[in-house]
Amino acid sequence: MRFLPLHALTAVLVLAAPGAAMAAPAPESLDTAALEAALDDVPDDEVSAAVVQVRGTAGSWSGTAGRISVRADRRPSPDSRFRIGSMTKVFTATVVLQLAAEGRLSLDGTVQQYAPGFLPASYAPITVRQLLTFTSGINGRELPHKTPDWFFEHRYDHWAPGSQLDLSIPLAFEPGTYQRYGNADYILAGVVVERVTGHRWADEVNRRIIRPLHLSGTSTPGDDVRIPGPHVHGYEATAGGWRDVTLANPSLQWSAAEIISTTGDLDRLMVALFSGRLVPATQLEEMFTVPAVRDFGTGKPAVYSAGLTRFETGGQVLWVKSGDRPGYNNGMGASRDLSRRLVYSVNTLRMGGDQPVRAQRIIMAALA
């Protein structure tokens, strides 16, 4: 597998038959046939739609498949917006690293220093770097939020920043000794951002990233349950048919997984970030440095850096991030030199499961 730099498509997108890919021609070095085949027969019993963008020295390609909703037999547009889930963590990590570059916090400083009184006095010191690399041991509330029963009952609930954490129990491990991926570290990172800046996390993300990069399809919805602009509806397959899961209050996910975006905007983010336009070189290196610890659950070596995931295949290293919310399963990644990049979103029909086979086919077709 390999991840395939930001150029507008010059070819006109051509409509294909329903269920097939809508794609732009690309150089022969990019296997467009494989990409088109990866989007064949959508919708199926796994996904209802897909949006894909590939950029790089091998060529550029965009494709969509499926339908935007059960009531509108139209395929998605390439700029369709979707809930990016945990790819939000890249935005939060970027803001924290910018604050470190500005001298407003130190990555070796502690949560107790920047958010005094927020954590129980019994907790060991937790550094900002440990939050970014999932090595803090902080615990989130144990909620079955990716199961249909819980989702449909609580989809419109409001969660105040920080209320997503369970501070009534001890840390899962001594900070810095293990890595455990989850939303809790980045919820706490959002709290630190707000305490240090005196502004809402969303305001800092908009001021520092979304507006400067002109990410016109990207938003921090807060308590807004809608997806603004063109988008594909998400569904959950039930015994009674597909049930719409598009509307949801994302405050439970907040600074860990709240954001809405597009494939084009996320590609622009990767280009700006990896090229040093958003974060100076010293702090940017944190995004490409995995701590020398082991995963708390599996015992395997850690793979998560500050906001990204290290993925090695075929002798090359890629830096990737996935994310999902009910109805949406997504991913983005690039080589560090930006010569290979991919952003995709598929509308999965079963929340909380493994990565859809369709997503795996897209990845293999784009990067093989």
SS3 state at 88: helix
Q: Report the CATH fold assignment for 22-309+324-367.
A: Beta-lactamase (3.40.710)
Share of the chain above pLDDT 90, in %: 86
Quick one: average pLDDT of 182-191?
Answer: 98
Q: How far is CA 24 from CA 11, 15, 16, 48, 59, in A?
A: 6, 10, 11, 21, 11
Angstrom distance (rounded) from CA 82 to CA 48 = 13
Is residue 53 scored above 60 in pLDDT?
yes
Quick one: average pLDDT of 159-187?
Answer: 98
Share of the chain above pLDDT 70, in %: 92
- Residue 352: exposure state from Cβ atoms within 10 A (0-12, 13-18, ≥19): middle
- E-assigned strand segments in the chain: 22-23, 47-56, 61-66, 82-83, 178-179, 235-238, 241-244, 260-261, 294-295, 309-313, 316-325, 328-335, 340-348
pLDDT digits (tens, 9 = 90+) for 103-146: 999 999 999 999 999 999 999 999 999 999 999 999 999 999 99
pLDDT digits (tens, 9 = 90+) for 69-99: 999 989 999 999 999 999 999 999 999 999 9
Quick one: average pLDDT of 27-34?
Answer: 77
pLDDT at 23 (0 to 100):
43
- When the pLDDT of each residue in the chain is averaged and rounded to a whole number, the result is 91
Domain range list for the chain: 22-309+324-367
pLDDT interval class at 368 (50, 70, 90): low
Quick one: average pLDDT of 192-204?
Answer: 98
Is residue 3 scored above 80 in pLDDT?
no
